[in-house]
A and B are shown apart, each in its own frame.
Chain A
C-alpha cells in the first residue's frame, strides 16, 4: 500500500478545494479531479517534489451523457511505484485546455494529438501545426469525437506541411520518404544539411494512421485483444499484455500464478527475437552483412519456437484477458534451446564488436545526451542507453517479474554503440529470466475469470515491451463495451529524440542511427 498522505497534504495545501474526489484505487493509484488552470501547477509540483512524470494524456468524449469532455493526466512515479491520475472536465461549449507544452515536451505532443482527434484547443500552445491529421482531413473532422462522421471524400488539400525552413549559405534540404528504397514503414524525413553534416532533421509521421483507438470503441473487451496484438506487429505480446492488464486492473482480477510465469516467458521471447534481429540490422547498416545473416538465422529459430509456444510466429493468441491463451507445450526443452541460441548470439556479438572498423562506426554516432533524453521522456533501451535508469519490469512489477532475479541494463554513453550494447545485455538477461521462469513454473490454471468490469472507470496497464514502456488506458460503458481505449507505444515518446541524436552527424550515418532507435511507425501512428 502506497502512503499518499504527503501527496494528499501537498495537494490540499496548493490547490485547496480546487481538487476534489480524491480517492485511492488498487492501493497505489491516487485519482482526483482538477479544475481549470491546475494542470500545469500540478505537473510542476509532482515533478519537483514527488518525482512523478506525466506519461499519458487521454481525452474522452463524454458529451452525450454528461455534456463534457474529460482530460485524464497520468503521472507515474518510477521510484516508489505509484500513480497520480488527474481528471479535468471540459465544457462542450468551449473546450479549451491549459497547455503545459512549454513545461514538458511530451505534453506538447499529447496536446497536439488531442487537438487533431477531438478538436480541443490547447491555450497558448507554441506549436499549432497538426500532428496526427494529414492534409486530406477536413478542418472540422475530429475522428475521436463520438458523433464524428467520416467524410466521404478524403482528398489532399494541396497545402504543403509547414516545415520550419532552415536557411543560410550552403544549407540545403534532402527530403526522404515517405516511400523508402527498402521495405520499411512509411515516414517522411527532411534533412537540412551543410555539406554532409546534418544541422536539422524533421520527422513527419502518421502515414500509417489506421484509426486504431477508434476501432477499439464499441468492441467487447475480449475482442480488443486481437486489435491490441496488431498495433505494432513486432510488439504483439507487449501491447496485448498492456491491454489485458488494464482490463484485469479494472476488474480487480488476479491472474493465476502459472499464467504470470507464462506471460514472462512470452514477453521475453518477443524481446529476444527483436533485440537479436536489431543487433544484426545495426551491423548490416555498417556494411557488415555477415552478422545480419546470422542474427536472422537465430531470429528464424526463435520465431519457430514462438510458433511452438503459441501457434503463431509473432506470438499472437498468447495473452488473453485473465491469463494466457495456451499452455506450455509438452516436450519442448526451451531452456536448452535458448542456451544454444545465446551461445550462438554471443559468438556473433564477439566477432562483430571485435571488428574495429565496425565499432568505429558505432562509437559516438547518434549521441543522445542524458538531458535531451530526460526532456523528451524517452523510454526503453533509448532511455537506458542515455543514462536513464528505467524499467517497468523492476519499477512497476507485473506478471511474475517480482519473483525473478535480473539486472536492468544501463549505459551512460548514449551513442549507437550503447544502444546496441543494451540490446546485447538485455538478450542475456532475458534468457536468464526465461530460464528462471521455467524452473519456477507452477502448476495450475491458465486463466482466471475476469469478473465484472465496472463502467465509466478509468484503468490502465503498463508493460515493458521490448522497445520500452507500453501503456494502455481503458474505460467501459454501462453495456460492458469499450468506450475509450488510449494506447501509448514508446515510439510516441522516442521518435522526436531521434532528431536530436542525429545533430552534427553526417547524412550517411542516419540509417545507422535510425536503426539503433528502431521505433515503430505503426505503434506511433495508431
Chain B
C-alpha cells in the first residue's frame, strides 16, 4: 500500500519540481550571460496565469486540437509513475518497462505534432515536420542507450537496472555506461527542445521547432503543454541521474530514506540543470541540417554502448 502512495507522491513531486527546474535553468543562463534574470519561481506564476486565461482557438481547429494537450500532459505524467524518481524497485515496474517509457514519450510528441498540423497554419506545419525529423532520429537512441544498461542488468525493467547497478557499483564507470550516458544526454537536449537543436528562448518564428508547433495554443491548453514539456525535462534528467548514478534512491520506504531520496533528486536535478545551462551558454544553435549529424553521432554512441556492454558482459 505504502509503495502505491509513493508512486503517487513521486508523480506529484515531479509535477511540482518541473516549473522550478525550468525556472532555475533560465535563471542560471541569465546569470551566465551577465543578466539579472527572472526569479526561479516565475514558471509557477506563468502556469497560474495561463490557467486563468481564456482559450482562443482557430476556426480551423478540430477536436484533435482540444484533445492533444490532455494526451501530451497525461502521457508525460504517466511516465513519472514508471521511472525511478525516489525509490527502486517500484510496484509499477511490472506495468511498464523502458520500452513503455520511450513510447509514452513518443505518444506525446506524436499528438503534439498532429495538433501543430491541425489548424493548418504555416508555422504549425513547419514545427511539426521539424519535430518529427528530430523525434525520428532521437527516439531510437533513447531506447538503445537504455538497452545498453538493460543488457548489463539482464532486464529492460528500469527497477532491475537500478538494483543491478547498486549491487555492482563498478558498472557505473564501465565504458558501456559512460557512452550510453553521453548518448542519452545529447538526445535529452534534442527531446526537450534545447540548444543546440532548438532554442527555447527565441522569438524568431521561422527558426522554432517546439515553439512553432504550439504557437496556436493559449490559455489552459498552453499551460498543459508547457507543463508537460517541463515535466519532460524532469523525466530526462531523472533518467540520466538515477539510471546511471542510482545512489540516493530509497531502497526501503522509511521516512529517512525518502527524505534522502528527495534531497539527492533535487541535488542531481540542480547539477544537471547547471550543466545544461553552461552548455547552452557556450554553444550556438546548429544549422537545422546539421542536427541529424549530431543525433546520428549520439546514435552511434548508443550503439557502441550496447556493443561494449555485450562484449564485456
Q: Which residues of A contact B (CB under 8 A)?
A: 173-176, 180-183, 196, 283, 285-290, 293-294, 297, 355, 357-358, 360-361, 365, 506-511
Contact = CB atoms under 8 A, between A and B. Distances in A.
Given A287-B199, A357-B196, A509-B287, A297 B34 contact: yes
B288 A508 contact: yes
Nearest to B282: A355
A506 B287 contact: yes
Contacts of B203: 181-183
B230 to A, nearest CB: 20
Contact of A358 (B33, B207, B284, B289): B284
A176 B284 contact: no
Given A182-B204, A511-B207, A287 B284 contact: yes
29 contacts: A173-B122, A174-B122, A174-B126, A174-B206, A181-B203, A182-B204, A183-B203, A285-B204, A287-B199, A287-B284, A287-B285, A288-B285, A289-B29, A289-B33, A289-B201, A293-B33, A294-B33, A297-B34, A355-B282, A355-B283, A357-B284, A360-B284, A361-B284, A361-B285, A365-B287, A506-B289, A508-B288, A509-B288, A511-B207
B282 to A, nearest CB: 8
B286 A357 contact: yes
B94 interface: no
Contacts of A290: 32-34, 281
A360 B286 CA distance: 8
Question: How big is the B interface, by class?
Answer: 20 to 34
The 8 closest A-B CB pairs, nearest first, are A287-B285, A182-B203, A511-B204, A358-B284, A286-B284, A508-B207, A293-B33, A288-B284
Nearest to B205: A181
B34 A294 contact: yes
Contact of B34 (A182, A293, A508, A511): A293
B192 to A, nearest CB: 15
Interface of B: 29, 32-35, 122-123, 126, 195-196, 199, 201-207, 281-290
A182 B283 CA distance: 23
A289 B26 CA distance: 12
B contact face: mostly helix, strand, loop, or mixed: loop
A173 to B, nearest CB: 7
B284 A196 contact: no
B204 A181 contact: yes
A422 B106 CA distance: 46
B206 A287 contact: no
A183 B204 CA distance: 10
Nearest to B211: A181
A374 B257 CA distance: 73
Contacts of B33: 289-290, 293-294
A389 B34 CA distance: 38
Interface centre among A176, A196, A289, A510 (most CB of B within 10 A): A289
